[in-house]
Amino acid sequence: MEIAADNIDKLLNIEMRRSGMPRGKKWVLYEVAREVSLEPLVLAAARLLVRPPSDIAIVTGAAVPGHMPVGENDGPFGAVVLASVLTRIGHNVTIYTDPDPLPPIEMLAERAGLAIDVLPLTLGDIEQQKKIAEKHGLFVAIERLGGNRHGILYGVTGVSRSAHRANVDTIFATATRLGKPTLSIGDGGNEIGFGKVHAELERRLPAHTMASVTPCGGGVFSVVPTDVLAVGSSSNLGAYGVVAAIALLKRDASLCHAP
């Protein structure tokens, strides 16, 4: 099983980037995350998720006003696919996102035949985040930015996203404080979860920190850790890989995602 999961990890991290996006760091992101994991990343994620029925929160969505007004497609697809599998193995799943990406994610869930709640996050509402952390038993971030050393959200090119995207660091920090398990799936180093390897990312990828571009000087890499960090060339692919590992653990190929 470890060999199969290791191969999935490696397939997920073949770099594919469109023009204008930073290149040459995907494999390093994977290596750094793998170095602190006792087993393949997707297998560690699957083991966290294959448990007695639980109340699981998935946080996703990445809208950019004027460019991607209802959000990029990376994140929501993976969230819905993962939610579908989690419900099939007995979990109750709620997806949280910002108001703008919410309608498309609701439609994706409906198209997938999922009867789950897709709920809005309120910008700057720390009390809401604490309540979310108290309500659920396990937390998953998929393509969800985490604050840098100054608590600011940045895209990989060094552009701040804090003005229009809820910073959900408090959800994961509170969950950790309460002893609740956390998982992140990311692809850029700036998402929740990469705080687990923040120092090593800065050491190994100095040119990709974008510290000279970010006005605060803190760079783009997130300082928010999670118990398990899974990495993919895209976060959707990472989620599909985790689903494949769940199928391995459950010995049920029907759980795998198919186009």
Percentage of the chain lying above the pLDDT 70 cut:
97
Mean pLDDT of 201-210: 95
Q: Evaluate whether 182 touches 139 at the Cβ level (below 8 Å).
A: yes
Give pLDDT, residue 22: 66
At 146, the pLDDT band (50, 70, 90 cuts) reads very high
Number of independent structural domains in the chain: 1
Average per-residue pLDDT in the chain? 96
- Residue 30 falls inside a structural domain: yes
Nearest to 185 by CA among 227, 140, 223, 129: 140
- Residue 107 falls inside a structural domain: yes
Instruction: Give the CATH number of the domain where residue 180 resides.
Output: 3.90.1640.20
Give pLDDT, residue 21: 65
Length of the chain: 259
Give the H/E segment covering residue 34: helix 26-35
- Residue 259 falls inside a structural domain: no
- Residue 226 falls inside a structural domain: yes
- Residue 185 falls inside a structural domain: yes
At 20, the pLDDT band (50, 70, 90 cuts) reads low
Helices (H) and strands (E) in the chain, counts: 9, 6
Residue 99, token pair as written in the block = 């108001």
- Residue 47 falls inside a structural domain: yes
Give pLDDT, residue 70: 87
- Residue 220 falls inside a structural domain: yes
Cα–Cα distance, 178 to 176 (Å, whole number): 5
Least confident of 22-31, 33-42, 51-60: 22-31
- Residue 80 falls inside a structural domain: yes
- Structural domain span for residue 232: 2-254
Mean pLDDT of 165-175: 98
